[in-house]
Amino acid sequence: MAGAALFFRLLDRSDSLVSQGPYTSPDENIADVGAYGNVALSTRVFSPGTTGDTVVFEHAAVKEETAWVVLGSHSIATQPQAPFADAFENTLRFIRLRVPNPSPSMSLSIDLIARP
């Protein structure tokens, strides 16, 4: 369908961020946006962390660990905050999420919408 948008949930609030220390999107949570020119990421913070955390968005041309490049990042405050969104053009093919040092109490949801 020409002109259709892609919706993809990069992170669901029920996903555990702290079970293995630093969090990186597993393969099934990496978005393939190669057919789209515009990407928006919407982040909702349900429960902020206790230490102040950083959420990093990365993109890559291929799914190889050494290929990922930082697309953008946000500090998650230790107090409640309003949802926020980022918009990008001409990203590489794949987009993933990385949280280098997640707090046990942090809970967020990150949605991606891509348009031609």
Architecture of domain 6-115: Sandwich (2.60)
How does pLDDT run along the chain (116 residues), one tens digit per residue?
557 899 999 988 876 665 557 889 999 999 999 999 999 999 998 887 777 788 999 999 999 999 999 999 988 877 777 888 999 999 999 999 998 888 877 888 999 999 99
Residue 86 Cα distances to 40, 74, 91, 107, 111, angstroms: 6, 10, 13, 19, 11
Structure tokens at 75: 């500090």
